[in-house]
């Protein structure tokens, strides 16, 4: 296979790059053989052992190195001969995630990790533009935007002809066939087949005509669903029970990825480890530690139009993405994703220089690596080797009161209900978001009032910040005015996943409530061993205070507002069991509206209701800092674009920098 | 023939052990383990979907029926598919156990061989400086957390902070050099940690043996030191050594080395087991618990037979 640098022939050859580092071509070839064998270090060194580190002095040397390594010094630059992103015709990009997906079956792509992988093996009808911020949809497998009826109830989506599934033994003769409209219909039906243990059906539940009834009738794939049909080989028709403005967003999720029926039937439950899609990459190996993809040779040729991807030269030129303009992704031959849950190991691998090429910046390294947080700037010694970008998470962390607990929430006695509301408002005033942000997130989080986070277009930056302002005096006053004394204050159980960090969160929370006079013995931490355990407590409405984070499925505030919609009460996503008829009315009204200033106004009114009713201590969107090696052409993202960005990643030869010279240092 | 009869008898005696272990662990799994239903639910589930999923997972079946099913799976060694990945449990374990073995065995063998060698040296120089030095080093090794050892070794051997000789993450057994590159640092870490425990244990056993009358008599009769060690001391020490080694093997096979696997990105059985425990993946857990119990019965049997081999006075009755 020929080296793949696009306009590549103009780039310095390996030999040129190597000469720059005074390392012989033979060394690089040897090193590359190691890399191809899965061994990513091991380049013969020109230098002998430093005298002071000769093997005979191993122990003192070890101690000295440990002391130095654990000290507060910058990460040394890797030996240039150890950087091996490309050689011998195989261009590899080595990505990392901080956890592993449990299943690669699209119907179970419920988290960011599964989505990252699924979106690279499979196709979705729509995707998010690679570079546009705020995020914007674009057709992907769809040939263009759908035809939508005037009443917003019928969508006709044409898919691109000639798209092929990867070759796989599941197909007759092992040859992948063309993706047709029936495959899209089949894949969506799978979400309504209980045998698949689907996790994404809630997107379409009660929305698509006949789909729920199809499930009730036994999920027979040969039975037609009136609202979900293939009109011909390339056209899908979706008929809705009511307008669903977020429908196209749901078709950009891993949940809706297109699976061939042959593969689902051939592999059965093992489809979760044998992805067979039409995405840009094909899985060649997958285990608990990493997944290895190879370029799908059949992936459609679609040259990148940077303008259509939302490219902003003013803010994104430094990434070097102009290099991919006019070329068809994917740009690497091999994509490796390490599932590195151990942060130290991930960091060591990233800083080594020839293993993981993209990593998040651990919070404890922020001061060591960054010269400035806002604007984000690396210290010069790191800027020479890495690129960095920060992004506010598409979601937020918050704490909701479970209003089904009469001690805090709804109460048949209106006077007590009013006192309960004052109690909740006092707790909100007592909570110190700034301290929380500084203590655990190095002050990088974006604190905002309400439940519409900054990442969505409906966010209101002018909203009063009173609900996120630490005001212990106001809290004490509120308690006193409503007759709350230390004796009367109820026991508050703070439920969290077991862990040191969550205990520290609790300790800080407890200290803040003790500051307003809450007795220590009435503040109790209840820890749960696993996510399943705490999720059960939420769904069964057993916790008075729910501490959680919410990752947006799509960039629309509807996705967070539904967390407070009455009919979504436990076991649904409304863990607060907030029931406000006016909120519900507005939600129902807004949920069928297309994006517009009127809809935004309704969203903001609902947001204000949640704030005024003191339903939640909210909120903060954390900020993630991505670091990647200089020779990687990319703008990493793990939020809404997620796994879609990997197809656009290119890797330059060792020593080259993707950053254009005119983009500055 | 005696040995075969003995083996059969031991295996039969192991059945109640396996039943006890599986019943106890299955009870814990069902009543106190994570409920996978709530891991697998979508973001906005209904009560009907929860019930549906519980049915899919078999949680709505009576306990005894589920336990009976478990025993049937144990007999046929067919544990179905993992609740998490959908992969067949048998293939999941067949893929990960060899990796764990290849990862841990070199350290295990080296740790024990070096432990015996150092213990012999220490015991033969009992009370003198080599003994004190070895014991001090053993205590030093024992008092450092495995996690710290891994962290330090990784930095020193694998990163640009140190020697940068080995990969930080990854695993490969394509050929011997590939294997050596990946296994060396984990092996060094295992040896570093195990050596202290092994040396102290083996030294205590050897010292005790050296004080026996027959050893003193042999020494008085001028038996050469090497012969004394090999025939009169080491052979008699074999029983506790065999016990220690055989009973560690099941843990190595099934448990792998979670910390090593997590830190070095190695897809072994330790990670599989750990993830099954925290996610409540019952098919995998049932297989792991059942196989561990069976391996322990096998280890008991092998140990008993080896006792007889090294010491004919041990009766198979």
pLDDT band at residue B307 under the 50/70/90 scheme: confident
The closest CB to that of A288, out of B159, B168, B275, belongs to B275
Q: How far is CA B45 from CA A51, A323, A579, B53, in A?
A: 65, 45, 18, 10
Q: Write down the pLDDT at residue A375.
A: 86
Residue B177 has, within 13 A of its CA and on its CB side, a CA count of: 11
Q: What is the pLDDT of residue B247?
A: 83
Nearest CA distance, B298 vs chain A (angstrom): 29
**Can you give the pLDDT at residue A85?**
41
> Residue B75 is encoded by which pair of tokens?
């007999």
Q: Does A106 touch chain B (CB under 8 A)?
A: no
Question: What residues in B contact A530, CB-CB < 8 Å?
Answer: 34, 39, 278-280
Inspect the interface and report whether the beta carbons of A345 and B265 lie closer than 8 Å: yes
Comparing C-alpha atoms, which of A484, A200, A393, A39 is closest to residue B182?
Answer: A39
- Report the range out of A341-355, A503-517, B194-208 with the highest average pLDDT: A503-517
Buried residues in A347-361 as b, exposed as e (16+ CB within 10 A): bbbbbbbbbbbbbbb
Using a CB–CB cutoff of 8 Å, tell me whether A117 touches chain B. Answer: no
Quote ipTM for the complex.
0.88
- How many Å apart are CA A31 and CA A28, to the nearest integer? 5
Statement: residue B1 has pLDDT above 60: yes
- Report CB contact under 8 Å: B86, A572: no
Residue A348 has its nearest CB partner, among B154, B267, B271, at: B154
Query: Is 80 exceeded by the pLDDT of residue A381?
Result: yes
Mutate to test the interface with A, among B29, B30, B33, B38 (most CBs of A within 10 A): B38
A69 to chain B: closest CA residue = B161
Mean pLDDT within B109-123: 92
- Residue spans of alpha helices (H) in B221-281: 225-227, 235-250, 258-264, 269-279
- Band (A461; pLDDT cuts 50, 70, 90): very high
Structure tokens at B10: 């031991």
Q: Residue A37 has what pLDDT? A: 38
Q: In angstroms, rounded to a whole number, what is the distance separating the alpha carbons of residues A661 and B143?
A: 52
| pLDDT given at position B255 | 66
User: Which letter does DSSP use for residue A268 in this model?
Assistant: G
pLDDT at A66 over 60: no
Looking at residue A326, its pLDDT comes to 96
Using only C-alpha atoms, chain A has a radius of gyration, in whole angstroms, of: 27
pLDDT at A58: 41
Residue whose token pair is 């204050």 = A489
- CB < 8 Å from B in window 301-340 of A: 338-340
Contacts for A67-70: CB closer than 8 Å, 24+ residues apart? A68/B161, A69/B152, A69/B155, A69/B156, A69/B159, A69/B161, A69/B162, A70/B155
CB B282 within 8 A of CB B61: no
Mutate to test the interface with B, among A286, A532, A570, A576 (most CBs of B within 10 A): A532
Residue with tokens 């500051």: A515
Each residue's pLDDT tens digit, A168-193: 999 999 999 999 999 999 999 999 99
CB burial class (10 A; 0-12, 13-18, 19+) of residue B288?
buried
SS3 A524: strand
Nearest-CA residue of chain B relative to A66? B152
Residues 6+ apart with CB under 8 A from A136: A128, A129, A310
Residue in A17, A2, A6 with CA at minimum distance from that of residue A630: A17
pTM of the model: 0.85
* Contact residues on chain B for A349, CB-CB shorter than 8 A: 168-169, 265
Identify the band that residue A664 occupies on the pLDDT scale cut at 50, 70 and 90: low
Distance to chain A for B69, nearest Cα, Å: 20
Of B40, B45, B160, the CB nearest to A352: B160
Give Cβ neighbours of residue A369 (< 8 Å, ≥ 6 apart). A361, A378, A379, A382, A627
Residue A632, pLDDT above cutoff 80: yes
User: How far, in Å, are A233, A302, A330 from residue A161 at the CA level?
Assistant: 9, 13, 19
Starting at the earlier edge strand, list the strands of the sheet with A623-629.
Answer: A358-360, A623-629, A386-392
* pLDDT value of position A305: 97
Per CB-CB distance under 8 Å, the chain A contacts of B52 are 194
Q: Region B75-89: what's the mean pLDDT?
A: 93
Give the model confidence (pLDDT) of A214-235 as tens digits: 999 999 999 999 999 999 999 9
Please give the pLDDT value at position B256: 62
Chain B contacts of A288, Cβ < 8 Å?
Answer: 96, 261, 267, 271-272, 275
CA-closest candidate to residue B108, choices B270, B248, B297: B248
User: What average pLDDT does this structure show over B110-117?
Assistant: 93
Inter-CA distances, B140 with B135, B136, B195, B200, B285, Å: 8, 6, 10, 12, 36
* Cα–Cα distance measured from residue A74 to residue A383, given in angstroms and rounded to the nearest whole number: 12
Q: In chain A, which residue's Cα lies nearest the Cα of B179?
A: A39
Residues 245-304 (A) with a CB less than 8 A from some CB of B = 268-273, 287-290
Q: Domains in chain B, start-ordered, CATH in brackets? A: 89-310 (1.10.3720.10)
- pLDDT score, position A14: 32
| Mean pLDDT in residue range A509-529 | 95
Q: Which residues contact A524 (CB under 8 A, 6 or more apart)?
A: A491, A492, A493, A494
A53 has a chain B CB within 8 A of its CB: yes
Residue A394: the pLDDT is 93
Whether the pLDDT of residue A47 is over 50: the answer is no
Q: Can you tell me the distance from the alpha carbon of A283 to that of A120, in angstroms, rounded to the nearest whole number? A: 9
- Is pLDDT larger for residue B5 or for residue A607? A607
Average pLDDT over residues B129-139: 94
Q: Which of A39-48, A141-150, A165-174, A539-548 has the lowest mean pLDDT?
A: A39-48
pLDDT band at residue B249, thresholds of 50, 70 and 90?
Answer: confident
pLDDT value at residue A102: 85
- Residue B35 sits at the vertex; the CA angle it makes with A193 and B42, to the nearest 5 degrees, is 40
pLDDT at B253 (0 to 100) = 74
Alpha-carbon distance of B150 to A613, in angstroms, equals: 51
Confidence of residue A663 (pLDDT cuts 50, 70, 90): low
Strands (DSSP E) found in A206-326: 228-232, 235-239, 281-286, 290-295
Please give the Cα distance from A142 to A327 (Å, whole number). Answer: 20
pLDDT at A614 over 50: yes
Split at pLDDT 50, 70, 90, the class of A88 is low
Q: What is the pLDDT of residues A9-31, one digit of tens each?
A: 333 333 333 333 333 344 434 43
Token pair in block for residue B117: 């060698």
Residue from the list B46, B168, B279 with its beta carbon closest to the beta carbon of A352? B168
The partner residue sitting opposite B164, judged by closest CB among A79, A202, A572, is: A79
């Amino acid at each position: 296979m020929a080296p793949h640098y696009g306009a590549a022939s103009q780039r310095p050859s390996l030999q040129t790059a190597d000469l720059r580092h005074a390392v012989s071509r033979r060394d690089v070839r040897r090193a590359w053989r190691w890399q191809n064998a899965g061994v990513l270090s091991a380049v013969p060194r020109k230098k002998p052992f430093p005298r002071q580190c000769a093997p005979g002095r191993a122990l003192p040397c070890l101690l000295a190195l440990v002391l130095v390594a654990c000290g507060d010094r910058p990460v040394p630059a890797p030996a240039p001969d150890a950087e091996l992103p490309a050689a011998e015709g195989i261009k590899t990009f080595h990505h990392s995630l901080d956890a592993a997906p449990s299943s690669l079956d699209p119907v179970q792509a419920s988290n960011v990790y599964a989505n990252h992988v699924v979106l690279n093996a499979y196709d979705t009808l729509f995707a998010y533009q690679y570079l546009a911020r705020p995020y914007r949809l674009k057709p992907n497998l769809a040939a263009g935007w759908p035809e939508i009826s005037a009443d917003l109830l019928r969508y006709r989506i044409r898919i691109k002809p000639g798209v092929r599934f990867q070759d796989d033994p599941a197909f007759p003769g092992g040859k992948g066939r063309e993706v047709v409209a029936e495959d899209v219909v089949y894949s969506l039906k799978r979400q309504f087949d209980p045998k698949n243990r689907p996790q994404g059906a809630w997107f379409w539940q009660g929305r698509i005509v006949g789909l729920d009834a199809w499930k009730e009738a036994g999920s027979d794939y040969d039975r037609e669903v009136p609202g979900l049909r293939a009109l011909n080989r390339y056209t899908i028709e979706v008929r809705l029970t009511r307008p669903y403005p977020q429908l196209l967003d749901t078709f950009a999720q891993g949940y809706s990825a297109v699976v061939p029926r042959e593969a689902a039937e051939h592999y059965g439950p093992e489809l979760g480890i044998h992805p067979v899609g039409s995405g840009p990459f094909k899985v060649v190996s997958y285990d608990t530690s990493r997944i290895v993809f190879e370029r799908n040779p059949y992936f459609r040729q679609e040259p990148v139009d940077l303008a259509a991807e939302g490219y902003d030269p003013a803010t994104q030129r430094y990434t070097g993405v102009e290099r991919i303009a006019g070329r068809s992704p994917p740009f690497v031959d091999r994509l490796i994703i390490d599932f590195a849950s151990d942060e130290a190991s991930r960091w060591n691998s990233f800083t080594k220089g020839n293993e993981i090429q993209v990593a998040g910046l651990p919070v404890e390294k922020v001061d060591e690596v960054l010269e400035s947080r806002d604007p984000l700037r690396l210290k010069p010694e790191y800027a020479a080797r890495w690129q960095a970008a920060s992004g506010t998470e598409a979601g937020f962390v918050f704490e909701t009161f479970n209003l089904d607990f009469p001690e805090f929430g709804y109460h048949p006695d209106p006077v007590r209900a009013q006192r309960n509301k004052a109690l909740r408002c006092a707790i909100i005033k007592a909570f110190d978001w700034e301290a929380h942000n500084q203590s655990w997130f190095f002050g990088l989080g974006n604190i905002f009032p309400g439940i519409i986070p900054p990442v969505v277009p409906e966010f209101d930056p002018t909203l009063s910040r009173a609900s996120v302002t630490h005001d212990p005096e106001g809290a004490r006053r509120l308690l006193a005015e409503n007759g709350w004394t230390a004796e009367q204050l109820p026991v508050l159980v703070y439920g969290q996943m077991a862990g040191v960090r969550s205990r520290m969160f609790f300790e800080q929370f407890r200290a803040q409530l003790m500051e307003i006079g809450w007795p220590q013995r009435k503040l109790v931490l209840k820890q749960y061993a696993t996510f399943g355990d705490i999720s059960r407590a939420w769904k069964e409405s057993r916790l008075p205070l729910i501490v959680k984070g919410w990752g947006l499925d799509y960039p629309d505030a509807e996705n967070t507002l539904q967390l407070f919609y009455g009919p979504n009460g436990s076991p649904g996503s409304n863990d607060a069991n907030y029931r406000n008829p006016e909120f519900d009315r507005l939600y129902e009204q807004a949920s069928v509206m297309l994006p517009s200033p009127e809809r935004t106004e309704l969203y903001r009114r609902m947001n204000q209701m949640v704030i005024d009713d003191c339903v939640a201590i909210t909120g903060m969107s954390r900020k993630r800092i991505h670091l990647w090696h200089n020779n990687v052409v990319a703008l990493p993202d793990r939020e809404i674009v997620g796994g879609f960005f990997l197809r656009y990643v290119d890797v330059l030869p060792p020593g080259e920098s993707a950053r254009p010279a005119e983009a500055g240092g | 023939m005696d040995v075969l009869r003995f083996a059969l008898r031991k295996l039969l005696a192991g059945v109640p052990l396996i039943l006890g272990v599986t019943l106890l662990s299955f009870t814990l799994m069902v009543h106190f383990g994570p409920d996978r239903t709530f891991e697998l639910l979508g973001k906005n589930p209904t009560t009907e979907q929860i019930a549906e999923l519980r049915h899919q997972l078999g949680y709505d079946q009576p306990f005894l029926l589920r336990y009976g099913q478990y025993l049937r799976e144990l007999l046929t060694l067919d544990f179905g598919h993992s609740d998490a990945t959908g992969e067949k449990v048998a293939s999941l374990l067949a893929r990960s156990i060899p990796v764990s073995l290849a990862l841990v065995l070199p350290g295990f063998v080296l740790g024990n061989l070096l432990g015996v060698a150092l213990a012999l040296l220490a015991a033969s120089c009992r009370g003198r400086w080599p003994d004190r030095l070895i014991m001090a080093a053993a205590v030093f090794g024992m008092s450092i957390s495995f996690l710290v050892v891994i962290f330090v070794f990784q930095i020193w051997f694998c990163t640009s902070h140190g020697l940068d000789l080995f990969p930080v993450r990854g695993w490969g057994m394509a050929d011997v050099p590939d294997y050596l590159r990946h296994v060396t640092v984990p092996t060094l870490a295992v040896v570093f940690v195990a050596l202290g425990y092994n040396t102290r244990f083996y030294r205590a056993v050897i010292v005790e043996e050296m004080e026996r009358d027959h050893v003193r008599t042999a020494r008085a009769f001028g038996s050469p030191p090497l012969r004394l060690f090999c025939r009169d001391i080491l052979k008699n020490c074999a029983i506790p050594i065999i016990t220690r080694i055989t009973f560690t093997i099941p843990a190595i096979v099934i448990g792998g080395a979670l910390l090593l696997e997590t830190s070095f990105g190695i897809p072994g059985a330790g990670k599989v087991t750990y993830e099954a425990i925290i996610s409540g993946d019952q098919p995998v857990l049932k297989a792991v618990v059942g196989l561990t119990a069976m391996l322990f019965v096998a280890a008991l049997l092998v140990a008993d037979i080896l006792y007889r081999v090294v010491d004919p006075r041990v009766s198979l009755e």
